[in-house]
Structure 1
Amino acid sequence: MASSRDRQRKLARAKLDRQMARRAAAARRRRQVRAGIGSAVALLLIVLGSFWALGGFDRDPADDTATPETCTWTSQDAQANTNLKDVGTPPTRDLPTTGTRPMTITTNQGAPITVELDLANAPCAGASFTHLAGKSFFDNTTCHELTTEGALHCGDPSGTGQGGPTYTFFSENTPDAPAAPTADPSASASPSTDPSPSPTASTPAAPIYPVGTVALISNPPGANGSQFLIFFKDFSPTQPNYPIVGRVTSGLDVIKKIGAMETVDNGSGVKVKPKTDVVIQSLTVGEPSSGDPTTAPTAATQTPTAPSASPTVAGQS
C-alpha cells in the first residue's frame, strides 16, 4: 500500500510540474508578445515623428489654388415677400471682372436701348443682369416709375417697387459724396475791376449721375436685386446711394422721350407712374468684351458735361 501511495504522489507531483511548466511558458509568450507590440509602437512613433518633422503632414498646396469667390448672393425669403421671384442665383466664381458687357433693352416705345455694363467696377451687377436676363426675368415687365430725380425706374416684375429675385448683393461703385466748396485762396479780398467772370465760376461741376447713367436702386440701400434706373436728366445728390453699373450707348433719345411722358398717381398719392405703360419686351445681355470701360460714368472718373437741356417730366409732384 505504501508503494501505491508513493506512486500516486509522484504522479500528482509530475502533473503539477507539467501544469506549472505550461503556465510559465504561457507567461513567457505573453511577455514576448507585449514586448513585440511595445517595440512596434515605439518604431511607429519614431517613423511618424520623422514624417511630421519632414513636412509630411503639411497641407497640399493644390488645395490653396481654388478660385476665390468673386460675388456673394444673400438669400431672401419669398414667403415673407411675395413680390419676389425665385430664379436661382448667379455663380460666385469665375466671373468676368474686366472690360464691358453689352445689354439690350427692347421696349414698346421705339428703338432698342443698348447699355454698356461696366464689369471692371461692378462685376457682380454684371453677373446678376446676365443671370436674370438668361432666365427672361425682365421680359414683359413694366417700368413703373419716372422718379422725381429724373430717371426711369425698371426691373421690378411686380411693379410695386418691392419686387426682385430671391437674392440680394452688396453695392459696387457707389459715388462719393461731393466735396464741399472751398474758397479760392488766390482770390483778392478787394473788388475786382475786371467785369469778366472768373474762369472757374463758368465751369459747371460734373454731375454725379450724368444723363444716360444706369444705376441700381434698392430698399434698403445696399441690398440690390433687379431694380435699376436709367437717368434722362443729370442728377447730383448730396448723398449718392445708387451704385453705377453702366451707361447708355444708344437709344438715349428713347429714354428722353419716355422721361417727357405725363405721369399719373401710382396708387399712393404720388404722380410718378407713366400714363402710357412702358413695357420691357425683352432684355438680353451679350458676351463680355475686353474694351476699356473707363469712358463709362463711374464713381472714379466722370467727364464734366454742360447742364442738360432735357425736357422736364410733366405731372410729377
Structure 2
Amino acid sequence: MSPSKREREQARRRYAKRAARQERAARVARERRIVAAVVVAVLVAVAITLVVLDRREEEPAEADQTPTATAEPTAEGDSAEPLPTTEPRSYESAPPASDSLDTSWDAVIGTNMGDISVTLDGQQAPQAVASFLMLAGDGYFDGTGCHRLLPDSLLQCGDPTATGSGGPGYSFGPIENAPGDDVYPAGTLAMARTPGDGESMGSQFFLVFDEVTLPSDEAGGYTVFGEVTEGLEILAQIGAAGTIDGGPDGRPAQNVIIESVDIQ
C-alpha cells in the first residue's frame, strides 16, 4: 500500500527537523573552531610584535629595503566562468533508510539549463533515496555546480566544492540496486562513490543520458536510485558541448548549475 499524503508530509517534516538539528550542531562546532583559531592568532600576533619590538631596541635601524618586483602576467586559460563553490554543510550521519517510506518520490532538479524531472525508487534503493530526500529538503544541492562530464554518457553533480571530493560529512552503504550486467541505460540516476569502497556514498550522483557500461570493481557496481523522466534532451545537449578541455572526462564546457531540487 502506498503511503498516504499525510505520511509523506510527516516524512518531509522529519527530514527538515533532522537537517536543522544537524546543521545547528555543525554550526556550533564551526563557531567554536573559529573562536579558538582567533584566540591562537591573537596570541601569535602579540608574541611576534613583542619579538619585533625587542629586536628594534637591540639592532640599529636599516635603510628601507622594500623590494621592487615585476609581477608575472597571469596566464590566459579558458574563458569559462568558474563553477560556484560553497563549504559543504556537515551532518552527523545519514538518515535511516526507513525515511524513504519504501515508495517512489517525484522530484524536479532545476538547473540553469532547464528542469530535469526524476523519480526516486525508495523500494529498491531506500538508503540512497532517504539521503537524497534529506539533502534536497535542506537545500544542500542549491547553487552547486555539476563538476564532471563524460560527453558520451553521463553528468555528475552533487558536490558543493565542485572538486569531486566534497560531501555531506557522512557516507553510507552498501550498494543498492546495481545492475547485474554493468549496463546503465539512458535515464539512470545513480550514486557516485569511491572506487573499491561500497560504503563511500554521500551526496554525489550521476545522470546517464546515453547507455553506458560501467564495470563493477571489487565493491560491486553503482547504486541506481531513480530515473530521469523528463529532461534527457537537456543532458544530451550538455554532453554534446563536451568538456572544457575537449577530453573524454572532465568539467563540462557549459557551466551546469543546480538551482534547486524540489520534492513533489
Give the structure-1-normalised TM-score: 0.50
- Contact 2:150 / 2:239 at 8 angstroms: preserved in 1? no
- Report the secondary structure of 1:283's partner residue: strand
The answer to whether the aligner puts 1:273 opposite 2:251 as a matched pair is yes
The answer to whether the aligner puts 1:243 opposite 2:223 as a matched pair is yes
RMSD: 2.6
Match of 1:264 in 2: 244
Match of 1:125 in 2: 128
Match of 1:298 in 2: none
Which residue of the other structure, out of 212, 221, 231, is the alignment partner of 2:208?
231
**Structure-to-structure mapping, 1:11-50, within 5 angstroms:** none
In 1: Cα distance, 2:93 partner to 2:262 partner: 17
In 1: Cα distance, 2:241 partner to 2:205 partner: 19
In 2: Cα distance, 1:104 partner to 1:159 partner: 21
**Structure-to-structure mapping, 1:122-201, within 5 angstroms:** 122-147=125-150, 150-170=153-173, 171-177=175-181
CA spacing shift, 1:149–1:258, aligned 2, 3 Å: closer
- Report the secondary structure of 1:264's partner residue: coil
- What fraction of aligned residue pairs are identical, expressed as a percent? 39
In 2: Cα distance, 1:216 partner to 1:122 partner: 10
Asked which structure has the greater CA Rg, the reply is 1
- Report the secondary structure of 2:251's partner residue: strand
In 1: Cα distance, 2:97 partner to 2:128 partner: 14
Match of 1:283 in 2: 261
Matched length? 175
Q: Which runs of 5+ in 1 are unaligned?
A: 1-77, 179-207, 287-317
- Contact 2:97 / 2:128 at 8 angstroms: preserved in 1? no
In 2: Cα distance, 1:86 partner to 1:231 partner: 27
Match of 1:102 in 2: 106
CA deviation digits over 1:132-180, x for unaligned, max 9?
01211000000011126610010000011000101011021122246xx
- Contact 1:83 / 1:164 at 8 angstroms: preserved in 2? no
In 1: Cα distance, 2:111 partner to 2:185 partner: 22
In 2: Cα distance, 1:93 partner to 1:105 partner: 22
Q: Which runs of 5+ in 2 are unaligned?
A: 1-29, 34-85
Of Structure 1 and Structure 2, the greater helix share is in: 2
CA deviation digits over 1:235-278, x for unaligned, max 9?
12342621101100111111111111131249xx9752112210
CA deviation digits over 1:18-76, x for unaligned, max 9?
xxxxxxxxxxxxxxxxxxxxxxxxxxxxxxxxxxxxxxxxxxxxxxxxxxxxxxxxxxx
CA spacing shift, 1:219–1:83, aligned 2, 3 Å: farther
Deviates more, 1:215-224 or 1:91-100: 91-100
